[in-house]
Structures are given as structure tokens and as C-alpha cells.
Structure 1
Amino acid sequence: MSHSQPVAVFDSGLGGLTVLRALRGRLPQEDFFYFADTRFLPYGDRSEAFLRERGVAIAEALVRRGAKALVIACNTATAAAAEAIRAAVALPIVALEPGVKPAAAASRSGTIGVLATTRTLSSERFRRLVGNHAGGARVIAQACPGLAETIEREGPDGPSVGTLLDGFVAPLAAAGADVVVLGCTHYPWVAGDIARRLPAGVSLLDTGEAVARQLERLLLASRLQGGGSGRLTVATSGSPGSVSTTVDRLWGEHLPVEHWEPHDVR
């Protein structure tokens, strides 16, 4: 493995672009390959068995493509497949999970909220996360079915996005949460809208910067840091044309999108 190889980042869709922005900001000399598995979006509607199989197949294909490290930029994929992916491929891997531990440490009221997909919140990994790291904090876990795909379909300012947020954020405000975890990579795109639906002084916690720091540590430890030129490749298992429109809207500039679907990824 060479330090000049790219870092692979994958998500079910384009929420992981929020993580990618943090990664590129901290590691500007790395090359990145971002894969949006939009053919099977949303992951939150898929079974855990499917997500394990799909995640392992994608990771193995990314190794063959030449990735030197892997960032699983999807809380749902992490919850269902991270252990299986770590067992299947010998790469430095950073996996996303809701920031329950830092949220509990930062809370003054003792009540924290977690916004995430139904699949993430129902996973054994999330239950362990709360059990091991919530301490004495009361955790209000709010599932947000449909929110991620609506953000992709309509954009962050879409009318249906606001309607969904009205219903999902209200229980956290009513419960008195003073720290709210954005437990899906799509949700930072609407962080301002979430904040406006919460009382003044409530903090939002996004794990993108923490993921970037962890990737930097792993690359240094593996002597794989650097060697690139900041090149970015974006690919999708779905339609590049439709995905490109959403990428440009979310990223704020045009990024070419290619189709990539390894033959053995079902």
C-alpha cells in the first residue's frame, strides 16, 4: 500500500459530503474517492443483513480500486456493517456513529437528544453506545424516517424538509435536551433549521471534525499520510446525471460525477 493512493469515503447518498468537506479541510494533500450508493438509498429502509453484505462488498471493491483507507460516512452503515467490514478488509477504517459520549459530557441539563435514522437507533451498536457512554444522561432518541432522502430530493430548503423537521425536533425541545446530536450525515445540511426549532442555547453536535482528526491519526500511525494533490473523484451506483445536480446544489460548485458499480456488488 502506498501513501499516494486515495482515501475512500462511502455513504448511502450525499449526506457524507458533510464529512468529506471536513476531511478535505483537515487533510488537503490527500486524494479522495467519494462513493454514493444511491442505487439503494435510503439505507434506513434496508435490513441489517443486507447492509452488512452490501457494506463488505463495497469495501472489498474499494480495496481493489486502490484505496489506502476507508471512511464509512454513514451512521446507518456503521451501525449495521462496521464490524463486518473491519473483519473483511485490512485497511485503516474510520466509522461514524452518533456523538453520544461528547454530548453527555457537554450537557448541563442531563438530557440529550439524538436525531438519526430508524435503522441506526434500533441497532445493537447504538444500544451499546448509549449503555457505555451516556453516563447518567437521559437520551431522547428521535427517529427521522424520510428526512435524509427528502433533503437529497428537494434540497435543504425544500418545503417537505421543514414539515418533517417540525415533527422530529419538537419532542427534543419539549424534553429539555440542551445538546442535540446530528446522528446522520445529511442533517448538518439543515443544522440552521434544526437550531431555529430549539430553544436558545441548545448545542448541536456534528461528528465530521472528529472523524477527520481520527483519519489523520490513523494515516500517521500507518505512515500513509500525504502523497496526493487534493484530487477528488465522486461516483454513484445510481444515475450520475441526477446525482450531479444534487451534488452541485449541496457542495456549492460543480463536481463531475461518474458511475461506479463493481460487478460483484449486488
Structure 2
Amino acid sequence: MIVALIDSGFGLLPTSACLRRLRPDLDLMLSMDPAGSPWGPKPSDWVIERVITTARRAVDRGADVVVLPCNTASVTALDHVRADLGDAVPVVGTVPAIKPAAAACESVAIWATAATTASRYQADLIAQFANGSEVVGVACHGLADAIDRGDRAGASAAIASAVERTPDDVQGVVLGCTHYPLVADTIAAQLPTGVRLFDSAEAVAQQTLRRIDALGRESTGSGRVEVFLSGARGILPAGARAFAAGRELLGTAPNPIG
């Protein structure tokens, strides 16, 4: 059973690592797009075409399930990918963990990219799932870019900026970009004691496993990890070693060090 995970950069690592821990027998196909990254500022039509093309390639290479562990890809292209691939190939998207955060906390900050923070999509999610909690968006300028570079110092500086713009009384922070769980330890260390972090990586991994089980097919594999970079077979960039999830996957990817 091959699961393809698609993101512009390292945002696919947290969900991939969760799947590796939950089902080490699954074969993972990690499709990143360094030539087109970042996707967030790109026009919607461009993102849709890029994600559909990547998903088609993954299925042509044997993927049984496609996962979009990326908010931009999910918001912009999820429905289009599902329509293109048809019902035979499950496609799993990502939704920021606003609902569980609002259920547990009276005040919540959503940390996301500038594009997501300003989006109608996030505003609609807040309206739907705030559940009476006070919810504020905080744009984390440069954080995803620093993570894709494997730049822990740059990420720490971007986190410090986001902390300064986060209300002092928030009880929970939603990591609204799939890159951000990679530096959850640094985020937690800079936030006031007691602030809870919420992300969607494990929920997406669990939903992926449910969709696999629903196929009713033999789901075991060899535990192989393959990497594709902008459509070409490649290796997991060395910057992934800066993060625990990346180090987990580097141990199983063929020729893993870039």
C-alpha cells in the first residue's frame, strides 16, 4: 500500500512521521515542489494545476491514497484533485485544528501564513468552529520559509515575532500551517507557560488510515520511503535533519541525505 503525501516543502513531514509511527509497514511517497515553493502566494489556478499534476504522477507511480498535508493545497485544490482522480483513489485533506482548540480553550490564536490568515477560508472556519471562544489570527511572517531552509535560528526569530503579536491571555495556539509542528518545541518554549498547542498532523494521519481500511484491500508494504522533488525522483533535503520528524524519515528514505 503506497500513500502519497504532497506539499510544496517540509509541511508534509509531521503527517508522514505520524504515519510512519502508526503503520511502519506502509510505503510513503513524499512529493515536494522546491521549484514552485512556496505555494501560498501563487494564483489559485496555478496551485490547482500544480497539485493535480503531482497527484496524477503519484497515482501513475502506484499510489493508492493521496494526502494533502498542506493548508494551501487543501483549501485551493482538494475538490479539484478528488474530481480528477475519481472515487477509486481516496484523497485526504487538511483542516486547521480550530474546532478542538475552541472546544478546550476560551481564547485561541491561529498562527498561519499571511495568505491563510487573510483568507476567507480561515474566516469561515472561525465562524463555524469558534464555539463562543475568542479567536484571533496571527500571521507568522517567514516562519514556513525558515523551516524549509532547515534554519532553526531563523524560525526562532519568526516565532519570537509571532509571540509578540499574540494576545497575552490566549489559552491555546492553533498551528495553522503544516510546517509549524516541526518547531513546536521552540514555539512552546517561547509562549507563556500553560498555553496549549493544537495541530492537525495526527488527525490527518488517522483519517488516512481510516480511508485505507475502507478500501478493504491488503494494506501492508515494505515500509519504503520515496522522495520526488518537483516531479523528479530525488532525495530528502538535508535540511530535514534539523527536525525530529525529518530525522525519523531520513532513516528510512533511500539515499536520504542531500
**TM-score normalized by structure 2?**
0.88
Q: Percent identity?
A: 36
Which residue of the other structure, out of 18, 23, 36, is the alignment partner of 2:19? 23
- Alpha-carbon distance in structure 2 between the residues aligned to 1:240 and 1:217: 28
Q: How many residues align?
A: 249
For each residue in 1:12-39, what CA deviation from the matched residue of structure 2 results, as whole angstroms up to 9, or x when unmatched? Answer: 1012111100011112221110111111
- Alpha-carbon distance in structure 2 between the residues aligned to 1:179 and 1:74: 21
Which residue of structure 2 aligns with residue 43 of structure 1? 39
Which residue of the other structure, out of 62, 65, 69, is the alignment partner of 1:66? 62
Which residue of the other structure, out of 159, 162, 167, is the alignment partner of 1:165? 159
For each residue in 1:90-123, what CA deviation from the matched residue of structure 2 results, as whole angstroms up to 9, or x when unmatched? Answer: 221111121000110111xx21111111222333
Amino acid at match of 2:38: P
- Alpha-carbon distance in structure 1 between the residues aligned to 2:210 and 2:233: 33
- Alpha-carbon distance in structure 1 between the residues aligned to 2:136 and 2:28: 35
- SS state of the match for residue 211, structure 1? helix
1:1-266 to structure 2, matched below 5 A, reads: 4=1, 6-90=2-86, 91-107=89-105, 110-155=106-151, 157-158=152-153, 160-174=154-168, 176-224=169-217, 226-237=219-230, 244-250=237-243, 251-252=246-247, 253=250, 255-256=253-254
Amino acid at match of 1:214: Q
Amino acid at match of 1:162: S
Closer, same or farther: CA 216–241 of 1 in aligned 2, 3 Å: closer
Closer, same or farther: CA 240–29 of 1 in aligned 2, 3 Å: closer
Amino acid at match of 1:167: S
Closer, same or farther: CA 115–239 of 1 in aligned 2, 3 Å: farther
- SS state of the match for residue 41, structure 1? coil
Amino acid at match of 1:99: A
Q: CA RMSD in A?
A: 2.2
Unmatched runs of 5 consecutive residues or more in structure 1 = 259-266
Unmatched runs of 5 consecutive residues or more in structure 2 = none
Q: Tell me by how many angstroms 1:145 deviates.
A: 2.6
